[in-house]
Structure 1
Amino acid sequence: MPTLTRTRLAHRVAGRRTLVTGASGAIGRQLAVLLGGAGAHLILLGRDPEALRETARQVPDTAAAVRVAPLDLTVHEDVTAFTKKLTADLGGVDILVNNAGRSIRRGTAHATDRPHDYRRTMAVNYFGAVDLTLGLLPGMRERGHGHIVNVTTIGLQLGMSRFTAYNPSKAALEAFGQSLAPELRREGVAVSTVHLPLVRTRMSAPTTAFARLPALDPRQAARMIATALVTGRPRVSTRLGTVGELLGVAAPRVRLALGALEYRHLPESPRSARTAAHTPPTDRSRTDPTGPDG
């Protein structure tokens, strides 16, 4: 990846209205700090008002402005109202980073009676991001510039097991961006996908097997996302992710065998099994363990 400097980042984001979802989480917070340090005009979205305010407090004074907006991306009407108000108040945004995500790592042996997990994950990771994008896209088109960054996961490239709820939701978001990008190419709006690897966050902590694996910290993950803004590349990935993706095309049986090996040696987390056994379908708490991108 190219060297990310504050000067290069500032050239892309200084004074630009930049919306970051999931800003109450570790990766979103570090991204807000990084972009604020480069002079971005930040609009920070998340479900936890106090965590959002803490993120705002950590943003450097060099930010052009910082606004926080508590928002549940699973409520279509609220997202629609938000995008309309933001367009009326600020004229929309220049940069949209769809970073928010719900992640569940649970094998299907523990998920056959939990179809609600699949719907919830799609609601946040796909439909929420799509609602937000469609609401803000007309303004980008009118101005003739913009950048949409969709944060997905290395799990799509490696074919990781136990992510039958999470990976499809991120695959849908990636496919949405891939289909959208050709429509926008001549309109000055870029679309990027960032495949984050494992990131050390509180959400990845329940899967104790991940502790043995190499991982990024949230600041490094934020820099990877910022690289997409600086370069404008359609895809930003790690070497491991790229190799895994190529292996899936050139030697799919080999990748399948490696996935089966991963399934055997990275077992179900105890927390996941307990949650599957005791959480009723009506429980909407965010207690499920996360996937590789935190």
Structure 2
Amino acid sequence: MSSYVIDINNEKQRSLILNICFQILSFPYQEETESLLLGFFEFSSHDDVTKLLQKVFGENGIIIMCHVTKANSKMEFYVNYDKTLLERIMPIIKDWYKPFVNELQNQHNVKVKEWKENYDIDHSEDILRNRIIDNINDLLPGFNYFVDFKWSYNDDNDNNYSVCENEIGDLIFRSDYGGIYLVIETKWLNNNHGDKAKKARIDGINDVKERTLKYKELAKKRFNDIVIGISYTNEKGKDPIHFVDITDEKIFNAIKANKNKKIKKNESSFDPGLMGFMAGTTITAAGMAGIGILLRNCSMLENIIDSRSSIF
């Protein structure tokens, strides 16, 4: 049997692989179950899809199961979910996102130049922001690409997310792990002694946390991708970095842990025995009930892979 060739430059293969990964990332990390349903999609070649999943995911210890439904001939995708899954998919995302990295670097260079020409060297929070930009590889490894600063989002069709003149976000970075963005909101705190200064610090910390959550949601609207939210302060004796929630922290830590890892490469022929159980898998109604939680947002995968068209 001839080997099955995968190609990161194949747009349809790349779309499927990356968006399966993003669907996994979109699930709350702290909720774990044996299997998760990733979505229902229509494809012309079940065999090619199962081979692709085995080569990319299976050979890296991740089981993505697919099952053709009898009712509408659509393909269901499931993943065996455990606490190590997040870290194991990161090298896959990075490998399959490589075709876009050069453009990200070009955009980064332009944006850094623009920042250096415009930031206020006498403004306390601009000093904080400049420190982040200059040291991003050490402070937040894996998010190497500067996307925007003093940014806003305005959707004329969504008044709830319109940003007025006085509502400007601080910094946005992007990783080379696909569509994963990092929003940073900064706050220069009063570190003096006394009750008044202490109250001002507490108010400032609460304010920057609220702004971070707000601009994380706005960035998700703007980019329609995974967004991590971080607040950054100069609070004396404390870690300057604070995550919006545990899910964001787990995603960031997975990227950090995998920053220097490379995806496992195995050029051997596809072994149908490894995936044979998947091709003919029958999932009963009772089994479906016990599968776990349907991922809440399949829009990213549906936007890329139209269920009315075939992948191969």
Using structure 1 for the length normalisation, give the TM-score.
0.28
Q: Return the structure number with greater relative CO, CA threshold 8 A, min gap 6.
A: 2
Name the one with the larger helix percent: 1
Using structure 2 for the length normalisation, give the TM-score.
0.27
Q: Give 1 or 2 for the bigger CA radius of gyration.
A: 2
